[in-house]
Structure 1
Amino acid sequence: MGVVIPLEEGKNKQASVKPLVDLTKADMDRVNQLILSKAGSDVQMIPEVANHLISSGGKRLRPMLTLAAAQMFGYEGEGHIRLATSVEFMHTATLLHDDVVDESDMRRGKSTARMIWGNQASVLVGDFLLGQAFKMMVDVGSLDALDVLASAAAVIAEGEVLQLSVAKNMETTEDDYLAVIRAKTAALFAAAAEVGPIIAATDKATRGALKSYGMNLGLAFQLVDDVLDYGGKAADLGKNVGDDFREGKITLPVILSYRRGTADERAFWKTAIEQGESTDENLARALTLIGKYNGLGDTIARAKHYGTIARDALSPLPESAHKAALMEVIDFCIERVN
């Protein structure tokens, strides 16, 4: 069940993350070397578990945001390499913990670490990576950058707990859900983008612009992920279509379809999600109801709204190749559903 987004007028090519990749390539090579170095340990299981996920083919968008945001303001030091690596370790730790909490079997097309090494190892290696991230933040010597990333780590943990409190609860509102993804996903995007201008010693307004850009990009990114779970292809997702449904996750397409449905349809959602009756037959009905109430289309519309806010946040900044690349990332994130 595919979803097509009409591109804006005047656009005749698919947006790409390539300009951002090209601008940050040299620095990302150094980040990748540091990742491998800092994921090492004399305890054999730590690098095995860490590298299982680190080497599994993620785009590393968050550390690229840190690098680009530092480069665009002329930063020439070494700190952005360590901060970008810290951001990636925070993200990887979150994924390791997420897979345990969500009892996920697949991540990026491979068995999750917890399926291979168990829940305890996944949680503890995630903790190790967080520790390494904070050591690198301290090495940079910027209290402001440390504050931003440490605060993000606390917010992400709050988001995890908040998600548990609304899990499998069909009375979850759209505002409740947005609070979860603002904390779980968007907070790290915001921090990744903000620490770049911090170490480049820019002014408060510039920091605020990049923070707002990252926050709203993160919201758009997660909302599109929600759509892809019901309207994407397994090869693109690195997991099976409908995994969110099978895991009983409350995402925006489900919330919209539940609230717009009849009493009988709402009863179905309660049975499927709250009672865990996530059969293939029920998934087929869920897809039908999401289509009936335009759950995917309206979720995409929300994502585009946050994309517009992200674009407006960057608009006052001077024109540059880095600004253009960050702008294109917004379209890339949203157009993944094409």
Structure 2
Amino acid sequence: MENVVRIDRDKRGQPSALDVLTELTKADMQRVNQVIMTRMQSPVALIPQLAGHLIASGGKRLRPMLTLATASLCGYSGDRHIPLAACIEFLHSATLLHDDVVDESRLRRGNDTANVLWGNQASVLVGDFLFSRAFQVMTDDGSLDVLRLLSGTSAVLAEGEVLQLITSNDVDTSEDSYLQVVSAKTAVLFAAACQIGAIVATRPAAEEEALESFGRNLGIAFQLADDALDYSAKQATLGKSVGDDFREGKITLPVILAYRRSDAEERNFWRRTLEQVDQQQDGDLDRAIGLMTKYDALADTLTRARHYGAMAKDALRLFAPSPMRDALTGIVDFSIDRAF
């Protein structure tokens, strides 16, 4: 299975940070892909068919790449990071399958979601299969530290799902509650993906903590940029439709900021469109984007993303300068700049 990462260029036509990181981890990523293909096989034909549809659908594979990159940054020369990177991808893929069912999503990266093609029941059960495969990989590794980290991560991912369900369609959701969801649903897996690199390399606790901090802050910055991007015309170039979060009634930071700054009539608009999505009308999305622009909600969301991005970069300063450190530093800016 070939690496599915799309090559991007920056505004000067130079290879993007994602391009650079992809190249630096290319050989290891090919081995990770082989592990993914092997470990998602099952005599139950629907399982590899449905899982393969999701895994081959064109994602960046950023999370497993982070495991490979941080292991390299820590000077690791063994093989344990390969199956563990695949484990990270299994955990991520399982949560995507469950997310699409909960959110009733119909498209992912421009393709029909698995729940559209095979139904909710199959998607949930294959997501459970991928979670189980991830735990098999963890136990095969044999490290109690790895098992403790990734099993804890799996629990927090599930808690994040439930927390998002509680806050969904509630325009009175606070910024703190939103950040709790982001930390649990997104940042925790980024953090684990990076922390594994130090664990397999048996690096000192300070380096392990630094990589956990790097991953956690990168994950928050990544999600903040993603939430701003949902209201950007650039979505179409990424194979996504503009306003999916709005149509699903998701309460993200651009909504929270715009709602907080709106007048009484505008707040009634937000309540109608997000608390009762079936009441949405033609033109509502355009008005929502207009209000976000009026109150600088999108710009301020990206300002917050840069704040977390700066903390992620600071965490890398513990490590000696190297091409891999430069690539990881660059991926922070890439994750935020894609929202422009």
TM > 0.5: yes
2:307 maps to which of 290, 305, 308 = 305
Question: Residue 69 of structure 2 corresponds to which residue in structure 1?
Answer: 68
Q: Which amino acid aligns with 2:228?
A: V
* 1:177 matched to 2:174: no
The letter of the residue matching 1:172 is T
Code of the aligned partner of 1:182:
S
CA contact (8 A) 1:232 1:337 kept: no
TM-aligned CA distance change 1:52 to 1:85, over 3 Å: same
Say which is worse superposed, 226-235 or 287-296, in terms of deviation.
Answer: 226-235
- Per-residue deviation, residues 273-307 of structure 1 (Å, max 9, x unmatched): 00112333111111111110011000000000000
Task: Give matches, 1:127-206, under 5 Å.
Answer: 127-206=128-207
Give the structure 2 partner of residue 290 of structure 1: 292
Aligned to 2:3: none
Q: Is the CA contact (8 Å cut-off) linking 1:106 and 1:238 kept in structure 2?
A: no
Deviation at 1:78, TM superposition (A): 1.4
Counterpart CA distance in 1 for 2:329 and 2:56 is 27
Asked if the contact 2:83–2:137 (Cα under 8 Å) also holds between the matched residues in 1, the reply is yes
- 2:325 aligned to 314, 323, 326, which one? 323
1:25-40 alignment, distance < 5 Å: 25-40=26-41
**Paired letter, 1:169:** D
Report the Cα offset of residue 96 of structure 1: 0.2
Letter in 1 for 2:339: V
Shift of 1:235: 2.9
Q: 1:23: Cα distance to partner?
A: 1.2
CA RMSD in angstroms comes to 1.4
Is contact 1:307-1:330 (8 Å) kept? yes
Tell whether 2:101 aligns with 1:100: yes
Tell me what 1:252 maps to: 253
| Distance verdict in 2 for CA 1:234–1:316, change over 3 Å | closer
Contact 2:236 2:242 in 1 (8 A): no
Percent sequence identity over aligned pairs: 57
* Pair 1:51–1:136, CA change in 2 (3 A): same
Q: Any unmatched runs of 5+ in structure 2?
A: 1-9
Look up the SS of the partner of 1:59 in the other structure.
coil
**Aligned counterparts, 1:48-127, within 5 A:** 48-127=49-128
Corresponding residue of 1:280:
282
Which residue number in structure 1 is paired with residue 18 of structure 2? Answer: 17
For 1:274 and 1:327, the matched residues in 2 are separated by 39
- TM-score, normalising length from structure 1? 0.95
- What is the alpha-carbon distance in structure 1 between the residues aligned to residue 37 and residue 91 of structure 2? 15
Q: 1 CA distance for matches of 2:124 and 2:208?
A: 33
Residue identity opposite 1:217 in structure 2: L
Alpha carbons 1:15, 1:332 under 8 Å: kept: yes
1:14 touches 1:335 (CA, 8 Å); kept in 2? no
Question: Residue 197 of structure 1: CA displacement?
Answer: 0.6
After superposition, what is the alpha-carbon deviation per residue over 1:29-48, rounded to whole angstroms, capped at 9, x for unaligned?
A: 00001111111110010011
2 CA distance for matches of 1:280 and 1:113? 28
* Secondary structure, counterpart of 2:230 in structure 1: helix
Between the aligned partners of 2:282 and 2:223, the Cα distance in structure 1 is 24
If asked which structure has higher relative contact order (CA below 8 Å, sep 6+), I would say 1
Matched residue count: 329
49-58 or 319-328, larger mean C-alpha shift: 319-328
SS in 2 for 1:169: coil
**2:4 alignment partner in structure 1:** none
Which sections of structure 1, spanning at least 5 residues, go unmatched? 1-6
| In 2, Cα distance between equivalents of 1:14 and 1:175 | 36
Contact 2:234 2:339 in 1 (8 A): no
The answer to whether the 8 Å contact 1:186/1:218 transfers is yes
Q: Distance in 2 between matches of 1:14 and 1:177?
A: 34
- Determine if contact 1:69/1:196 at 8 Å carries over to the other structure: yes
Give the secondary-structure state (helix, strand or coil) at the position aligned to 1:280.
Answer: coil
Aligned twin of 2:5: none
Match of 1:41? 42
What do the CA deviations read for 1:3-58 (whole angstroms, capped 9, x no partner)?
A: xxxx9xxx996842122111111010000011111111100100110000100010
Question: 1:255 is aligned with what amino acid?
Answer: I
Secondary structure of 1:291's counterpart equals: helix
How many Å apart are 1:232 and its aligned residue?
3.4
